[in-house]
Structure 1
Amino acid sequence: MLRRYFPSEAVASMIKLPKPLRDNLHFLCVEVDSQVASLQSYFETPAAAVARRIVDRAGYAYNLKVRIHSATVQKLRSSKRQAQRDLMLRSIEFIATDLERLAEISRNCVRQLEYIEAFELLGAKRYIGMLKRVRKAIAQIEPALQADDSTLAIQMGKSLGRMASDYEKLLKRYRLALREVPAHTDDLTRALFVAYEVRQMGEALVHISESIISANLGQPVNFERFFSLRSLVSDLEADEEDLQISAIAQTRSGSSISGISAGDESENGYLAIFKDGEKRKVKEERAGVRSWHEIYPGLAPKILSYEKRGQSAALLIEHLPGHTFEQIVLNESDELVDEAFKRLAKTLKSIWKATRSQEPAQASFMQQLQKRMNEVYRIHPEFARTDSKICGLPVPSFDTLVAAVTKREKHWPAPFSVYIHGDFNVDNIIYDPMERRINFIDLHRSRYMDYVQDLSVFMVSNYRLQVLDSDTRARINDLALRLYDVARREAKKQNDELFEVRLALGLVRSFASSTRFILDKSLARRMFMRARYLLEQVLAIQPGKETKYRIPMKEIFVD
């Protein structure tokens, strides 16, 4: 039974739908079924009266949808927030939207069908079968909401596969007819639109199915994600009847992260982490984790299982105990911050030593930045200025400065490579105080590269934490200065004479590109101006004097 994957309280909450919502949803299901049935009748016997009945009832389904939306908003506004109940209400809202979409599709179809003269070209029998499946799915919506598992919801979602197959057969029929009976090109063109619209009914049913499953799981989920999750949790050594799923995060790359716990034992932590998303990115993460296991064992989590479906994929990953570095910096004692930093510094030096390659590395920070600046300007259009003058003195634009530095950067490679994290943000570093151990997560960008890239990303990810408390800000800036001191000493040992100028460029890249994630105008401006200040400093270095440059770290990391 699929029930074992769902929190029991989610099932209970589905039964307690407010009566106005329940009634309006019932009326909407009946109304939409009536309109789809009328469309089915039109395919069986085309008649103007049937078409008019569909078109004339456009307002009723819409009004029912609006009532449901209003009732959910009112309920959300008038009650204390409860994540499980709130998700259930939002799911009902989405279901109403997709039901009204089915009614809209019925109207779109009949408007095209009325103009088709050679009705025999349509292949009406196949449409009748497709619409019967739609009506069967509509009839399952209310029982699926009341059921104690998602079996009916899954059956609804599977309608799309059969409807997509029918759609392809209709396309093949119409393409052949376009060649054989060109006199009916107009009719066949309209038939193509009708076929596409009916296929969209299958998409709407999938959305409804996903809304029901999401309410059962207690978190948003799509159809592919559900099947990946169901497949992967079977690999856990735990009683599947007790497994519970809880959302943890949504990444900027589009991946979803959830924790899987064992029922009443959830306070002891997660059994595993479920991560899914675009197949390419998930495969990159899997490859990154495997590489770390080979190159530096013990740092990356274990991959318990991997599943791919279509264009998406999922990982079941070992849950690592401890806190992210972000949590430690923001919430823990000075003693724990100091302990975690010392362990991080020791771990980094060990990684650099163990993975060092004599192959020079060219990070191309300015090229990386140029690829991201359009996104920055979309969020902060005030940064997109052109070259100008003040009292006759030229003031180059940010892009002009970046272009000028790009020409010089290619002459400043790192003298060696190390294996880097690639996305060394404070929320991708975990410290376990019990084991006094550092672990890395989110490893899809790991590769051999200039170690300065990880350093700059870490420093700026600390700086951009949106906290106003002066003591916490001082702690954040102190971490950047301490890591700089550690890295500078290591660079000196390795005769890395261009360390400072490359770190300056890494900071430029991280400060400027990170503003696309910051809506706080004051913080974004401080970050952007720091990037510009460093660019101007680097451009002011006389050729041949790059090894003498020193970053004004105390001026950069201060508020």
Structure 2
Amino acid sequence: MSAQLPKNQRTNLRFLFVEVGTQISNLQDYIVKEGKNFSTGSFDRSGYIHNLKIRIHNDGYLQIQNAGNNESDIIAFRAIDNIANNLERIAELCLDCMHHIADLSNKDYLSGDKYEQLLAHVAQGISLSERANQNSDSQQALKIAEVQQKLSKNCQQLIDKYSKEFKSGKNAEDLIAALFVVKSIKSMDEALLKICNATLSRNLGQTINVDRFNSLTRCVDHLQKNGASKNLVLDTIAETRSGSVISGVSEANKDAIIAIFKDGKKQKLKEELQSVERWHEIYPGIAPRILSYQKQGQSAALLIEHLEGSTFENILLQGSDKLQKQSLQQLTETLNDIWHKTLQKKPVNAQYAQQLLKRLPDVYSIHPVFEQQHIHIAGINIPAFTKLLKQTNKLEQSLAAPFSVYIHGDFNTDNIIYAPGQKKINFIDLHRSCFMDYVQDVSVFMVSNYRLQALDHPFRQRVLHVNMAMYHFAAEFARHHKDPTFELRLALGLARSLATSTRFTLDKTLAKAMFYRSRLLLEQVLAVNIKHSKDYRVPIKEIFIA
């Protein structure tokens, strides 16, 4: 249920809808009359429209201040701001159209009813928008999207027609002006779609768009067919760097989450679906069940089984020592079982240096100070970081793992769930899973612990203890399976994860600590005599010391 708007905001929004609707009507009349005997002063309402928008913004700002931590109300008031912005945008585009029409020397381009039909779609969209907001009616909001699609299609057909005529070289100036008119009207359809999305967001108290709403509706239907209440609540849990939104679905007035709704780019979610299905085949029970998969356009959504328990990250940050030890023991036992059961005696090279080279531009864009050149100080050569990586990349070609196992692929601690009651480990966010070097998961796990934003000494000691335990477990697995280059690959995997993780923090102290540790590991690997590589040990304690 959307937040109730204060009277002043409702009044100003109503006037804004009326004014913009009038601008569309005026533009239709202007086109019919081909700009003759028409007072352009009727378009001169931009100042009043802007003032209405500012009043709505000001009222919305006060409401957001008073909303406290009520996220759904904050989203609703921001949605009204968004609607006001896009209504003003449509009014501005009406003025743009008028100016471009005035540039037409041949008014025949205005003949027929093509422009009237386009503007009729815009007028219909504005009317639907007003009703959808007055009545908090999401079905009316969805009709805006239907109108927008028709408008977009019709505009594109006219653009294609004018573009084809333009190639003939005749009436070039008029065709350019006509194209600008259509382009301006097409921009109105983009504004209508934003109004539609904002209206849906306001009604649900959740940032959402049409594709996501349709996917959510189908997923909710699936839950209700399987016995869930008709009154369901959606609460955002996380927003990923790849653009996905993860939400918990629960029944009204109940805290328990009954499912996870995840939506985002179709390709990424399709990969996750396929990977989860693969996990079910390879190691049943480790991955959550997929309850429903929906796709529309370039977007998709997954309805995922909600898993009981806590993430390893939360246990590390807030759990008791006993719980932390239990979860770590269960994790290493689970990994050991997975690695043994999926081991394939086929060499594989993770190319850690190559992975880091690909991400280095993103690192430098956040921390340009790291992009240092070759330095010569007091007879000591300090090569540029990029040069170190290129040298490492050559060396790494001879450091393939002697076997592969099925790995998580994004083994951050918030992707590991432990249920103490069942003494069970589960994995989530599995779109990168594949047969690969097990060292990749080990190194990502260690660095994800290290970069957690908790700086007190007892916590850093706990991180060191966990990472040392994971190191000893992995080293024993390597020894048992006769993996002679484990230590060198772990150093490279850690170097890769430490350096790339600096992209995600603006804390200069933490970023420098990770980047220079990465450099240290690369220098150590390059300094190792390959003939005596078995003697090298990764300085785990020094890297992760409190």
Alignment TM-score, normalising by the size of structure 2: 0.96
Alpha-carbon distance between aligned partners in 1 of 2:348 and 2:263, rounded to the nearest angstrom: 32
The sequence identity of aligned pairs, in percent, is 45
Check if 1:256 corresponds to 2:245.
yes
What is the Cα-based RMSD across aligned positions, in Å? 1.6
> In structure 2, what is the equivalent of residue 111 of structure 1?
99
| Secondary structure class of the residue paired with 2:449 | helix
**Alignment partner of 1:429 out of 394, 401, 416:** 416
Query: Could you give the per-residue CA deviations for residues 472-512 of structure 1, whole angstroms, max 9, x where no partner exists?
Result: 22112211111001111111101111100100000000000
> In structure 2, what is the equivalent of residue 65 of structure 1?
53
Query: Could you give the per-residue CA deviations for residues 246-288 of structure 1, whole angstroms, max 9, x where no partner exists?
Result: 1111110111111111223x32x22211111111111110111
| Secondary structure class of the residue paired with 2:104 | coil
For residue 121 of structure 1, report the CA deviation from its aligned partner. 2.4
Query: Could you give the per-residue CA deviations for residues 366-422 of structure 1, whole angstroms, max 9, x where no partner exists?
Result: 000011111111111111111111123211111111111111011000000000000
For residue 179 of structure 1, report the CA deviation from its aligned partner. 5.6
**Alignment partner of 2:312 out of 311, 322, 325:** 325
> In structure 1, what is the equivalent of residue 377 of structure 2?
390
> In structure 1, what is the equivalent of residue 331 of structure 2?
344
Alpha-carbon distance between aligned partners in 1 of 2:404 and 2:39, rounded to the nearest angstrom: 70
Alpha-carbon distance between aligned partners in 2 of 1:425 and 1:320, rounded to the nearest angstrom: 17
Contact kept, 8 Å, 1:94 with 1:208, in 2: the verdict is yes
For residue 167 of structure 1, report the CA deviation from its aligned partner. 1.3
Contact kept, 8 Å, 1:363 with 1:449, in 2: the verdict is yes
> In structure 2, what is the equivalent of residue 506 of structure 1?
493
User: Mean alpha-carbon deviation: is it higher for 61-70 or for 107-116?
Assistant: 61-70
Query: Could you give the per-residue CA deviations for residues 302-359 of structure 1, whole angstroms, max 9, x where no partner exists?
Result: 1111111111111111111111111111111111111111000000000000000011
**Alignment partner of 1:166 out of 145, 148, 154:** 154
Distance 1:381 1:175, change over 3 A: closer
Alpha-carbon distance between aligned partners in 1 of 2:22 and 2:297, rounded to the nearest angstrom: 35
**Alignment partner of 1:222 out of 209, 212, 229:** 209
Contact kept, 8 Å, 2:118 with 2:155, in 1: the verdict is no
Aligned positions of 1:276-315 closer than 5 A: 276-315=263-302
Q: Which runs of 5+ in 2 are unaligned?
A: none
Alpha-carbon distance between aligned partners in 2 of 1:167 and 1:240, rounded to the nearest angstrom: 43
Contact kept, 8 Å, 2:12 with 2:56, in 1: the verdict is yes
Alpha-carbon distance between aligned partners in 1 of 2:96 and 2:293, rounded to the nearest angstrom: 42
Alpha-carbon distance between aligned partners in 1 of 2:320 and 2:36, rounded to the nearest angstrom: 76
Distance 1:50 1:523, change over 3 A: farther
Distance 1:107 1:395, change over 3 A: same
For residue 46 of structure 1, report the CA deviation from its aligned partner. 2.0
> In structure 2, what is the equivalent of residue 529 of structure 1?
516
> In structure 1, what is the equivalent of residue 230 of structure 2?
241
For residue 50 of structure 1, report the CA deviation from its aligned partner. 4.4
User: Mean alpha-carbon deviation: is it higher for 207-216 or for 412-421?
Assistant: 207-216
Alpha-carbon distance between aligned partners in 1 of 2:42 and 2:369, rounded to the nearest angstrom: 51
Alpha-carbon distance between aligned partners in 1 of 2:107 and 2:421, rounded to the nearest angstrom: 74
Contact kept, 8 Å, 2:20 with 2:91, in 1: the verdict is yes
User: Mean alpha-carbon deviation: is it higher for 39-48 or for 84-93?
Assistant: 39-48
Alpha-carbon distance between aligned partners in 2 of 1:169 and 1:387, rounded to the nearest angstrom: 56
For residue 238 of structure 1, report the CA deviation from its aligned partner. 2.8
> In structure 2, what is the equivalent of residue 4 of structure 1?
none
**Alignment partner of 2:189 out of 202, 205, 211:** 202
> In structure 1, what is the equivalent of residue 40 of structure 2?
52
Letter in 1 for 2:426: N
**Alignment partner of 1:465 out of 426, 435, 452:** 452
User: Mean alpha-carbon deviation: is it higher for 78-87 or for 366-375?
Assistant: 78-87
| Secondary structure class of the residue paired with 2:530 | coil
> In structure 2, what is the equivalent of residue 91 of structure 1?
79
Alpha-carbon distance between aligned partners in 1 of 2:308 and 2:151, rounded to the nearest angstrom: 46
Q: Which runs of 5+ in 1 are unaligned?
A: 1-9
| Secondary structure class of the residue paired with 1:90 | helix
For residue 124 of structure 1, report the CA deviation from its aligned partner. 5.0
Contact kept, 8 Å, 1:243 with 1:261, in 2: the verdict is yes
Distance 1:123 1:224, change over 3 A: farther
User: Mean alpha-carbon deviation: is it higher for 238-247 or for 402-411?
Assistant: 238-247
For residue 129 of structure 1, report the CA deviation from its aligned partner. 1.7
Letter in 1 for 2:76: M
Alpha-carbon distance between aligned partners in 2 of 1:329 and 1:276, rounded to the nearest angstrom: 28
> In structure 2, what is the equivalent of residue 133 of structure 1?
121
| Secondary structure class of the residue paired with 2:302 | strand
Distance 1:551 1:179, change over 3 A: closer
Alpha-carbon distance between aligned partners in 2 of 1:405 and 1:54, rounded to the nearest angstrom: 70
> In structure 2, what is the equivalent of residue 38 of structure 1?
26
Distance 1:200 1:484, change over 3 A: same
Contact kept, 8 Å, 1:238 with 1:262, in 2: the verdict is no
For residue 69 of structure 1, report the CA deviation from its aligned partner. 1.8
Alpha-carbon distance between aligned partners in 1 of 2:191 and 2:306, rounded to the nearest angstrom: 35
Alpha-carbon distance between aligned partners in 2 of 1:102 and 1:501, rounded to the nearest angstrom: 60
Aligned positions of 1:395-474 closer than 5 A: 395-474=382-461
| Secondary structure class of the residue paired with 1:336 | helix
Letter in 2 for 1:292: W
